[in-house]
Structure 1
Amino acid sequence: MAEYFEPAEEVAARAKELKSFKMDFFGLTNKVAIVTGGNTGLGQAYVVALAEAGADIYVPTFAQEGWDETRALVESKGRRVEFEQVDLTKDSAAESVVKNALKTFQRIDILVNNAGMIRRNPLLESKDADWDAVMNINLNAVYHLSMAVLPVFAKQESGKIINIASMLSYFGGKFVPSYTASKHGVAGLTKALASEASAFNVQVNAIAPGYIATSNTAPIRADEARNAEILNRIAAGHWGETKELMGGIVFLASAASNYITGTILPIDGGYLVR
């Protein structure tokens, strides 16, 4: 077999390409992110992470809870945050949010579709009103906001959409059929949007948080049997901490992930591998 020698010009070109990689690729200096429901909980963590990386933030929320705390956290990073009180399930809410964010910051680079809710009921006690409420915010609002921001991203030929999926994007769960259906829908929508948005240099991805120690999961952790069941499936051996989600958001929002699209990134301590 003849030995192959790579042409000198190809060697030089590859070396130049390798040298072009910088840690700045992970930075978000002077970028602008919309983070829905970023005033409390995990959404607030995403806001702080993006601000730490250099972004200014626009936060549409249903209530004003946590505004002052979130503002203080963002401003401590030397970045700016503005809030809008809005019901994202209402007609034209998505278009209004995008318009107001542009008016405030003159640009949008990142959309994090974080706002969501869950309703728990045994199957035979499920109510149509619960189904509609969950689907409207967890899936319909994600679609409408994505569609509202995509023309902006297409025009500037860049942009990042990050959706929030779930372990219940993979499993059926119990007592939460509406939430499970909505999160399966988020995974599918992420892939569908990514398939076409790539033509505009827009990447659409999602993270799927695992079992994170928050106030929402406190009742489950307090249930000795259920807590043990969950821990036995987490390869890392512990419930996730909020800070362990923050790096994934920054990565998917940054230029370092420009060749990643249509991906659902589990941040689950290895829950899915067991």
Structure 2
Amino acid sequence: MADWIKRFALDGKTALVTGATKGIGLETCKVLADAGADIAAVGRDQQGLREIKAAVEAKGRRCVAIAADMATADGPAQAAKEALAAFGTVDILVNNAAIALIAPLLEATAADWDATMAVNLRAPFLLAQALAPAMIKKGAGKIINVSSQAGVIGQDSHAAYGASKGGLNTLTKVMCVEWAKHNIQVNSVCPTVILTPMGEEHWGKPERGDPMKAKIPAGRFGKPVEVADMILYLASSASNLVNGQDMLIDGGYTAI
């Protein structure tokens, strides 16, 4: 095996991925499994969990399907406990599960705000808190938080979503500051619109999507596998000096 392939390989590693049954999470499970990782796939959709388990096992990797709700206070701890029971260790945490409740500021509700913060910000904190002690003991770990360009710049009608992702970016930096000394790398990836089921729901209609594409120098939205490939880089030893960064995958949107 060529040295460059070894740097991106995940043989012998285990990865926990939330929001694993569709979109970026689904592609991430497949890409990390292709690179050699065993997968703890976390989600709420039982049929989707069965499908991703089959897809990962078809690649010759182990997969444990974990039904857990990231909107609850105990869901993240449950997911971490089941993953550790199955594999003994989790080397890579991908905090991908998210919701987007889009509304203008004057129409946004407190309930939507609280729900958004619970899934998008509290769950990553709780999962990292549950899994970091074993990473610290081992002296190695990778945490990748799936954020958004909306956490870096302001977007119309994205108050709760943008605030949650901006908070996640700052949480990423705090994790880096506290855990880098233990050889744990923590980074966020910040995509533009990605054509996941959630992305299609909000941006699929031309009257909404076309003006957004016009703001992206690349002139298009992203594909889930493009984000998954960045996650693979951040999960691999090739990125060992990259820490505390917000990795924008935006086709140039924030360059303007």
TM-score norm. by structure 1 comes to 0.87
| Cα deviation code 1:27-61 (max 9, x no counterpart) | 00121000011111211011111111100110221
Q: Which runs of 4+ in 1 moved over 4 A?
A: none
Tell me the secondary structure at the aligned position of residue 125 of structure 1: coil
Change (3 A) 1:188 1:223: same
> Contact 1:208/1:266 (CA < 8 Å) preserved in 2?
yes
Partner of 2:44: 62
Partner of 1:126: 108
> Contact 2:41/2:49 (CA < 8 Å) preserved in 1?
no
Rounded Cα–Cα distance in structure 2 between residues aligned with 1:217 and 1:118: 9
Equivalent residues in 2 for 1:28-47, closer than 5 Å: 28-47=10-29
User: Aligned AA for 2:152?
Assistant: Y
Rounded Cα–Cα distance in structure 2 between residues aligned with 1:227 and 1:85: 33
Partner of 1:10: none
Aligned-residue offset at 1:65: 4.0
Partner of 1:272: 254
Q: Which moved more, 1:212-221 or 1:179-188?
A: 212-221
Rounded Cα–Cα distance in structure 2 between residues aligned with 1:214 and 1:112: 17
Partner of 2:122: 140
Rounded Cα–Cα distance in structure 2 between residues aligned with 1:73 and 1:263: 31
Which of 222, 231, 237 in structure 1 is aligned with 2:205? 222
Q: Which moved more, 1:24-33 or 1:242-251?
A: 242-251
Rounded Cα–Cα distance in structure 2 between residues aligned with 1:27 and 1:111: 16
Rounded Cα–Cα distance in structure 1 between residues aligned with 2:22 and 2:212: 25
> Contact 2:21/2:52 (CA < 8 Å) preserved in 1?
yes
> Contact 2:150/2:158 (CA < 8 Å) preserved in 1?
no
Aligned-residue offset at 1:266: 0.8
Partner of 1:17: none
Partner of 1:155: 137
Count of matched residue pairs: 254
Aligned-residue offset at 1:21: 5.3
Change (3 A) 1:91 1:237: closer
Q: Is 1:108 aligned with 2:124?
A: no
Partner of 1:81: 63
Change (3 A) 1:89 1:213: closer
TM-score norm. by structure 2 comes to 0.93
Rounded Cα–Cα distance in structure 1 between residues aligned with 2:238 and 2:250: 21
Tell me the secondary structure at the aligned position of residue 54 of structure 1: coil
Which of 201, 211, 231 in structure 1 is aligned with 2:183? 201
Please, which runs of 5 or more residues in structure 1 have no aligned partner?
1-19
Equivalent residues in 2 for 1:4-43, closer than 5 Å: 22-43=4-25
Which of 227, 239, 249 in structure 1 is aligned with 2:221? 239
Rounded Cα–Cα distance in structure 2 between residues aligned with 1:69 and 1:62: 13
Partner of 1:12: none
Rounded Cα–Cα distance in structure 1 between residues aligned with 2:73 and 2:104: 31
> Contact 1:40/1:65 (CA < 8 Å) preserved in 2?
no
Rounded Cα–Cα distance in structure 1 between residues aligned with 2:145 and 2:189: 7
Tell me the secondary structure at the aligned position of residue 220 of structure 2: coil
Tell me the secondary structure at the aligned position of residue 98 of structure 2: coil
Change (3 A) 1:261 1:63: same
Rounded Cα–Cα distance in structure 2 between residues aligned with 1:235 and 1:76: 38
Aligned-residue offset at 1:176: 2.5
Please, which runs of 5 or more residues in structure 2 have no aligned partner?
none
Aligned-residue offset at 1:190: 0.4
Partner of 1:187: 169
